[in-house]
Amino acid sequence: MGGNNPFIENPEVQLPKQAYTITFQPGGEVVQVNPEELPLSRDGLVGSILEIAGGSGIDIDHACGGVCACSTCHVIIREGFDTCNEASEDEEDMLDNAPGLTIQSRLACQAVPNGESNVVVEVPSWNRNLVSEEH
């Protein structure tokens, strides 16, 4: 799916200039992020947690395709929160609809780490797609 939401202004982001890791909890999957070869999934902002997760084979539900039009990709950034771009008003409006909201909550499609430190992301249990369908 993916693409841009024509009804919102894309936030300013700083893409990483150095390698870092994202650890996805509770599974403990660790993704080594090389800024010269970002794992692309085409969902969310370039370099976003959602795009890196999807490009690395880690599933985070995202009903709108990663265009900041829902709150299904809500995650909690346990470490490295300050290395992500600031949440836009549009993202904060969408987060208001997310269950289990915390001060460290972000939409994975909008949060772009700058690589200054490693990041630990918790995917809430209600947001994990545990169903696998064979097609």
Please indicate, yes or no, if residue 1 is contained in any of the structural domains.
no
Query: In angstroms, rounded to a whole number, what is the distance separating the alpha carbons of residues 38 and 34?
Result: 6
Please indicate, yes or no, if residue 67 is contained in any of the structural domains.
yes
Q: 115 and 20 in contact (C-beta within 8 Å)?
A: yes
Q: What is the pLDDT of residue 127?
A: 62
Please indicate, yes or no, if residue 135 is contained in any of the structural domains.
no
**CATH code, domain with 90:** 3.10.20.30
Please indicate, yes or no, if residue 107 is contained in any of the structural domains.
yes
Please indicate, yes or no, if residue 99 is contained in any of the structural domains.
yes
Q: What is the pLDDT of residue 39?
A: 75
Please indicate, yes or no, if residue 111 is contained in any of the structural domains.
yes
Number of C-alpha atoms within 13 angstroms, CB side, residue 81? Answer: 13
The per-residue pLDDT for range 52-77, each reduced to its tens digit, is: 999 999 999 999 989 999 999 999 99
Task: Give the residues of the chain that fall short of pLDDT 50.
Answer: 1, 130-135
Q: What is the pLDDT of residue 19?
A: 96
Q: What is the pLDDT of residue 1?
A: 45
Pairing verdict, β 119-122 and 20-25:
parallel
Torsion of CA 14, 57, 29, 101, to 10 degrees: 60
Q: Which domain holds residue 108?
A: 20-126
Please indicate, yes or no, if residue 110 is contained in any of the structural domains.
yes
Please indicate, yes or no, if residue 14 is contained in any of the structural domains.
no
Task: Specify the pTM.
Answer: 0.87
The one-letter amino acid code at 95 reads L
Domain count, the chain: 1
